[in-house]
Amino acid sequence: MNPLGRFVRRLWPTEPRHRRLAAGAAMLAGAALTSVSIFATGPTAVPEPRTEKAWPVAVMPAVPERRSPSFTAYGRVESSRVAELATDLVAEVAEVRVREGDWVAAGDLLVGLADAEASLLVAEREADLAEQRARLASIRSERDMLARTLDQARSMHRIAQDKLARHQQLLDKRLISRSLLDEVVAQANQASIELENHERRLTDLPHRLAAQEAQVAKSEALLARARLDLEKTRIRAPFSGPVLAVHVAPGDRTSLGVQLVDLADADAFEVRVQVPDAYEARFQRHLELGHGVSASFADGRELPLSRLARRVRPGQSGLDAFFALAPGATAPPLGRVVDLRIRLPEEAGVVALPIASLYENDRVYAVEDSRLQAIDVERVGELHTPEGEYRVLVRSPELYQGRQVITTQLPKAVSGLLVESSGA
């Protein structure tokens, strides 16, 4: 046995259990040596070159120009004039000629109240007026008579005074008795009193006449009020329009301020539209400058902007725009929600793009050297082309004439992304 064999034999365990452990360790060592030799002597892998993916996109050239922005909004048909017809009479409701939803013309009878009491009051006031007018006529006749007889009263007074003077001379000459002179003095005094009464009555007549004319005017006013109360028993439509509500029925008894019928004015129909926040400042600016803002129905009928109003209501707040319907035109039913297209005045330097070009409502991407470049834009409005295509109108100094803008929605669009463009 050679020396190596003796050395191995010396190291190899003699007990069976130790021999099994040594055999296992030897097998593991052999497997490890084999693996190391395989990796050490195997061929070296050459990595393949990595290529960047180019995303296919459609592009179109930017064309800045003047365009009229528009947008679609929902509005509610309302009336700026709604009459809540009431009465200040206490009377029984005799008849109700309308129902909710009826369309009435101006002057149509809506509700009739019992008018017996009002008719009696009119008759009483007419009689009182006739009496006062008769008194006025009597005073005027008295004035004319006193004016005509004034000269006669003065003449009689002068005659009496002359007679008194003659009888005084006769008495001084002892040609008449004292008793006869006393009779003449009494006659002269009576003539003076009658003249003074005549003149006093004539002086007082203008005051009596004015007072009686005032009484006649008062009676005329009371008669007019009675006739007005009689007319109030006939509740008529102040304008044409739909009946919104009826609050009474025959047999009800009215009192002061009781509401009878609600009526809307058809000539004051308008459409209320809540203006989106993005358009509030533009609406106010155009209205202050007198620029035309209009809306249209789907059938093409135009509605001019009449006014703006800011009001906070339960569940909503902001700016409301009111578009007037032409008087006499066929209008949708009151309260209906309608679809309107709002058209603003022309804006300069806007670009019309497909909706797919817009990212997060304020960004588009241009293509420069086959890579995307983000551009922040201002969304000006919307546009429907004559062909019926929908476009969004945006504006940015970076969207110059002919710049290529993508019209494709990419899931991970970022600046610098490699793309392969084609015409839109």
Q: What is the pLDDT along the chain (424 residues), one digit of tens a residue?
A: 555 455 445 555 556 555 666 666 667 766 666 665 665 565 555 555 667 788 899 999 999 999 888 888 888 998 888 999 998 888 899 999 999 989 999 999 999 999 998 999 999 999 999 999 999 998 888 888 878 787 787 888 788 788 778 878 877 777 777 788 788 788 878 878 887 888 788 888 888 888 989 999 999 999 999 999 899 899 999 999 899 999 999 999 988 888 999 999 988 889 998 888 777 877 778 777 777 788 888 787 888 888 888 765 555 557 888 888 877 677 788 888 998 888 888 888 999 999 899 998 889 999 998 899 999 998 888 888 778 788 899 999 999 898 999 998 888 889 988 888 876 5
If 0-12 CB within 10 Å is exposed, 13-18 middle and 19+ buried, where does residue 107 land? exposed
Q: What is the rounded CA–CA span in Å between residue 322 and residue 326?
A: 13
Q: Note the pLDDT of residue 4.
A: 46
pTM: 0.58
Q: Note the pLDDT of residue 335.
A: 85
Q: What are phi and psi of 86, to 5 degrees?
A: -135, 180
Cα separations (Å) of 17 from 12, 23, 26, 190, 223?
Answer: 12, 10, 15, 182, 141
The pair of structure tokens assigned to 261 is 């019928």
Q: Which residues pair with 261 in a beta bridge?
A: 85, 246
Q: Note the pLDDT of residue 96.
A: 93
Q: Which residues pair with 64 in a beta bridge?
A: none
H helix runs in 1-67, sequence order: 3-11, 16-41
Q: Which residues fall within 8 angstroms of residue 321, CB to CB, at 6 or more apart?
A: 272, 273, 274, 275, 283, 293, 305, 307, 308, 342
Q: Note the pLDDT of residue 284.
A: 79
Q: Note the pLDDT of residue 315.
A: 54
Q: Which residues fall within 8 angstroms of residue 139, CB to CB, at 6 or more apart?
A: 205, 208, 209, 212
Q: Note the pLDDT of residue 384.
A: 80
Q: Note the pLDDT of residue 204.
A: 82
Separate counts of helices (H) and strands (E) for the chain: 5, 22
Helix axes 178-232, 116-172, angle to 10 degrees: 170
